[in-house]
Amino acid sequence: MPVAEIPEEEERAAAVAAIDEWTARELERGESLVASERQEVTDRTASHRWYLRFKGEEKDFITVWLTLGQRTLHHEAQFMPAPEENGEAVYQYLLRRNADLYGMSFCLGPEDAIYLVGRVAAAEVNDEELDRIAGSSIHYVDEHFPTAMTLGYPKLYRRRPRGR
């Protein structure tokens, strides 16, 4: 049985074009995406990286990093720094929330900061998938940030009043 080759370059080029076009449209709409930057990656760990900055409700801004690898698009948003207090309660809360998230999960990153991460096939990158990634990132951060910060920074964090 013949094996079909995956057109990696075409797949990546299509994903880059889809992300660039989606980003331009979202910036033009001016609703939640307030800034974006695209970088070409030269260290062979990926081909392109985008930084997308969205307005948030509970956090002023939510930055979503998109990293296009050989065959996948990795996305992540820094959720919060490592908790100063009640670490076990924070981690337990977020691990329990993972069961309710679609296509993403909370995880530990550099310096024990907490990130919201996910990955999709490069061939699946289109407007609908980018809408899901952006919308879910914003929604999940705004939904879970207040509780996690209240647990991890009880002396510093105060939830914003509704309708600010």
Ramachandran category for residue 22: left, alpha or beta (phi over 0 → left; psi -120 to 50 → alpha):
alpha
State how far the Cα of 159 lies from the Cα of 110, in Å rounded to an integer.
Answer: 26
pLDDT on residue 17: 96
pLDDT on residue 40: 79
User: What is the side-by-side order of every strand in the sheet holding 72-80?
Assistant: 33-40, 48-55, 61-68, 72-80, 114-121, 105-108
**What are the pLDDT digits (tens) for 2-55?**
655 555 788 888 999 999 999 999 999 999 999 999 987 777 666 789 999 999
Spatial contact of 126 and 57, defined as CB atoms under 8 Å apart: no
State how far the Cα of 136 lies from the Cα of 148, in Å rounded to an integer.
Answer: 17
Taken in order of first residue, the domains within the chain and their CATH numbers are 8-152 (3.30.1460.10)
- Reduce the DSSP state of residue 155 to 3 states and report it: coil
- Reduce the DSSP state of residue 54 to 3 states and report it: strand
**What are the pLDDT digits (tens) for 110-134?**
889 999 999 999 999 999 999 999 9
Rg over alpha carbons for the chain, rounded to the nearest Å, is 17
Confirm whether pTM is higher than 0.85: yes
The dihedral formed by the CA atoms of 96, 99, 103 and 106, expressed in degrees to the nearest 10: 10
